[in-house]
């Protein structure tokens, strides 16, 4: 029996998405209540995104 490659897993997760650029971060890495983009300084909004979790 051959080993099967582990398949990457994706899930819909709520992330912080910058309103001005493509930058986004996972909520678990953001401690601020209303974070601002680390790249351009614009405000960020909560958005659901299908991201790779494994």
Q: Is residue 21 close enough to count as binding Zn ion by CB under 5 A?
A: yes
- Three-state SS for 27? helix
Q: Binder to Zn ion among 10, 11, 12, 40 (CB under 5 A)?
A: 40
- Smallest distance from Zn ion to CB 47, Å: 13
Q: Is residue 44 close enough to count as binding Zn ion by CB under 5 A?
A: no
* Contact call for residues 21 and 42 (beta carbons, < 8 A): yes
What is the rounded CA–CA span in Å between residue 54 and residue 46?
22
What is the rounded CA–CA span in Å between residue 8 and residue 14?
19
- Smallest distance from Zn ion to CB 5, Å: 35
| Number of residues near Zn ion (by CB under 5 A) | 8
């Amino acid at each position: 029996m051959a080993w099967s490659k582990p398949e990457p897993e994706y899930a819909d997760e709520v992330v912080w998405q910058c309103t001005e650029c493509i930058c986004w971060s996972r909520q678990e890495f953001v401690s601020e209540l209303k974070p601002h983009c680390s790249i351009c300084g614009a405000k960020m909004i909560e958005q659901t995104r299908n991201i790779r979790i494994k």
